[in-house]
Amino acid sequence: MTIYSFKLIFICLISVTLLACSASEKKGQIPIDYEIADVRNLPQDIEAYASSFRDDYLGKTCRDSFLIEFKGKYYAPWSGSSSITDIARSVTTMREHLQKDWYGENKRRVLKSDLEALSINCDLEHIPSMKRPAIVTSPTDLRVLPISKPFFENADNFPFDALQNASLKLNEPIRVRHVSRDGLWVFVETADTNGWVLSRDVGYIHDRLAQKWIDDEQIVIVKDSTLIRDKSGTAFHMTNVGTICPLVAEEGDAYEILIAVNARRDYVRVMKAKVSKEMAERFPLKTVRESVALVGNELIDKPYGWGEKYQDRDCSAMIRDFYLPFGIWLPRGSYNQINSGKKISLAGLSSSEKERLIKEKGVPFLTLVYLKGHIMLYVGSRGDRALMFHNIWGINVRNGKGGEYKQIIGKSIVSSLIPGSELNLAPGSILERVSSMLVLGDRCAKASQ
């Protein structure tokens, strides 16, 4: 190919790009894949901010206190006789959902006959009908109703599937409270929520095995898309950050671990498996800057996933998975997370005063910052700006015609509290809507004294 041909191709590419941008401008919008200035100008590398984390901030007493709390919460489905969650409220929610109008994956209304069949399959009149300790045998979705298909409030509401509650990790403790009429789904309680799971992805567990599971040394997965292999080396599962497994032994560059496997009989069986030491660490990780950077960099630049659909993460799932390897408990959901300790109100303050207080009272990597529907992790400051690590769907931007649209970000980033400030933002920026903050270290401050 001649130099002239290369030049011609280059000119054509530039022309196509300019035409695309011009078309977007005529519509009053910027390109869908536009990268906001914060992402372009701020290091998207957690190691660049981890130096602000004080290794000695959480003393041993505090770390031990966090771990006791974590184990008490995480394994709650295997102990106690009372319900962990508000099942009556969930039944009410299910009934309400079954009466609403929804759109499906084909952008058409969900048929009333399908909703009626779904209602019959739920058998809501008999929930709860049982109480059996169980364990997740394959990463799976936790659904509001026993169906894998999405329900959207309007035809163009992707990815906000109203039935997607959360995802559950391999080996996660649960409690089965009900079985659908067709037997394909079970209604379960986790440590902090409930919902429907495909019955093929769970198995019942004996009390003796459950106690051994709790008492054994453990490892935690610190890399997404980690392959867990059987003894022959065949890949058995792919797991993400935060998966916890009992440790059997160390074998060279691998950990020998236990995973729960569905058996043909009523209870799970235990299988020995292997995971590379490059992908896992002993649980819990030490709260030091190297570990903060390790976990943070595994979570950054990952796709946004509403309710952890497709094994991705939304804002609260990212925050939860960040802390899980350290043995620090956080519930699911941004509202529950900010209310997991004594929060500091920022309501009614000016934007500048909010940012000043966040920088003054916030502890990098141990401070949550909240606005309705969204939660972020404070990682320090640069100049006069407080910086946040968060997984965000998008920001509201004016379209120049008196309206606004959602400029998609769709991933986890480090940004200021005014991401997209170079654009014509719609009223009500993130900073303007921030309402509270929570310093997690305060949860065990008294125990540390």
Q: What is the CATH number of the domain that holds 266?
A: 2.30.30
Average pLDDT over residues 55-83: 92
In a domain, 406, yes or no: yes
**Per-residue pLDDT for 445 more than 60?**
no
Amino acid in the structure at residue 414: V
The packing angle between helices 87-99 and 112-122, to 10°, is: 160
Confidence of residue 400 (pLDDT cuts 50, 70, 90): confident
57: left (phi over 0), alpha (psi -120 to 50) or beta: alpha
Average pLDDT over residues 74-86: 92
Q: What percent of the chain has pLDDT over 90?
A: 84
Give all strands of the β-sheet with 436-439 in edge-to-edge order.
Answer: 344-345, 436-439, 367-371, 374-382, 385-398, 404-415
pLDDT in the model for residue 14 = 39
In a domain, 8, yes or no: no
One domain, residues 126 and 174: yes
Domain that holds residue 80: 72-132+139-192
Confidence of residue 210 (pLDDT cuts 50, 70, 90): very high
Select from 235, 260, 282 the last residue of a domain: 282
What is this structure's pTM? 0.91
Confidence of residue 28 (pLDDT cuts 50, 70, 90): low
Of the given ranges (71-75, 155-159, 263-267), which has the lowest mean pLDDT? 263-267
In a domain, 384, yes or no: yes
Q: Give the residue from 448, 410, 401, 404 showing the smallest Cα distance to 426.
A: 404
In a domain, 31, yes or no: no
One domain, residues 346 and 221: no
One domain, residues 341 and 442: yes
Average pLDDT over residues 91-117: 98
Confidence of residue 189 (pLDDT cuts 50, 70, 90): very high
One domain, residues 123 and 227: no
CA dist., res. 390 & res. 396, Å (int): 16
Mean pLDDT of the chain: 92
pLDDT in the model for residue 277 = 97
CA dist., res. 423 & res. 248, Å (int): 54
In a domain, 225, yes or no: yes
Question: Which H or E element spans position 386?
Answer: strand 385-398
Q: Give the residue from 139, 147, 319 showing the smallest Cα distance to 225.
A: 139
Two structure tokens written together for 119: 């209602």
Determine contact, residues 30/20, Cβ cutoff 8 Å.
Answer: no
One domain, residues 272 and 303: no
Select from 282, 305, 325 the last residue of a domain: 282
One domain, residues 304 and 176: no
CA dist., res. 397 & res. 287, Å (int): 38
In a domain, 388, yes or no: yes
CA dist., res. 139 & res. 309, Å (int): 11
Q: What percent of the chain has pLDDT over 70?
A: 92
In a domain, 27, yes or no: no
**Per-residue pLDDT for 25 more than 50?**
no
Q: Give the residue from 333, 314, 353 showing the smallest Cα distance to 432.
A: 353
One domain, residues 323 and 419: yes
pLDDT in the model for residue 21 = 40
Determine contact, residues 401/418, Cβ cutoff 8 Å.
Answer: no
Residue 354 CA to its chain's centroid (Å): 26
Q: Give the residue from 167, 172, 173 showing the smallest Cα distance to 197.
A: 167
Q: Give the residue from 356, 365, 363, 331 showing the smallest Cα distance to 417.
A: 356
Average pLDDT over residues 378-385: 94
In terms of C-beta density within 10 A (0-12 exposed, 13-18 middle, 19 or more buried), how is residue 423 classed?
middle
**Per-residue pLDDT for 447 more than 70?**
no
Structural domains of the chain, count? 3
In a domain, 84, yes or no: yes
Confidence of residue 23 (pLDDT cuts 50, 70, 90): very low
**Per-residue pLDDT for 4 more than 90?**
no
One domain, residues 374 and 438: yes
One domain, residues 294 and 366: yes
> For residue range 362-372, what is the model confidence (pLDDT) as tens digits?
999 999 999 99
One domain, residues 307 and 400: yes
Q: Characterize the bridge pairing of strands 244-251 and 218-221.
A: antiparallel
Confidence of residue 247 (pLDDT cuts 50, 70, 90): very high
**DSSP letter at 70?**
H
Select from 265, 282, 299 the last residue of a domain: 282
Average pLDDT over residues 48-68: 92
CA dist., res. 271 & res. 236, Å (int): 11
One domain, residues 296 and 435: yes
pLDDT in the model for residue 337 = 97
One domain, residues 158 and 175: yes
Average pLDDT over residues 118-140: 97
pLDDT in the model for residue 6 = 42
Of the given ranges (97-101, 186-190, 427-431), which has the lowest mean pLDDT? 427-431
pLDDT in the model for residue 80 = 81
> For residue range 280-328, what is the model confidence (pLDDT) as tens digits?
999 999 999 999 999 999 999 999 999 999 999 999 999 999 999 999 9
CA dist., res. 275 & res. 218, Å (int): 12
**Per-residue pLDDT for 32 more than 90?**
no
The packing angle between helices 289-299 and 315-323, to 10°, is: 150
Q: What is the CATH number of the domain that holds 382?
A: 3.90.1720.10
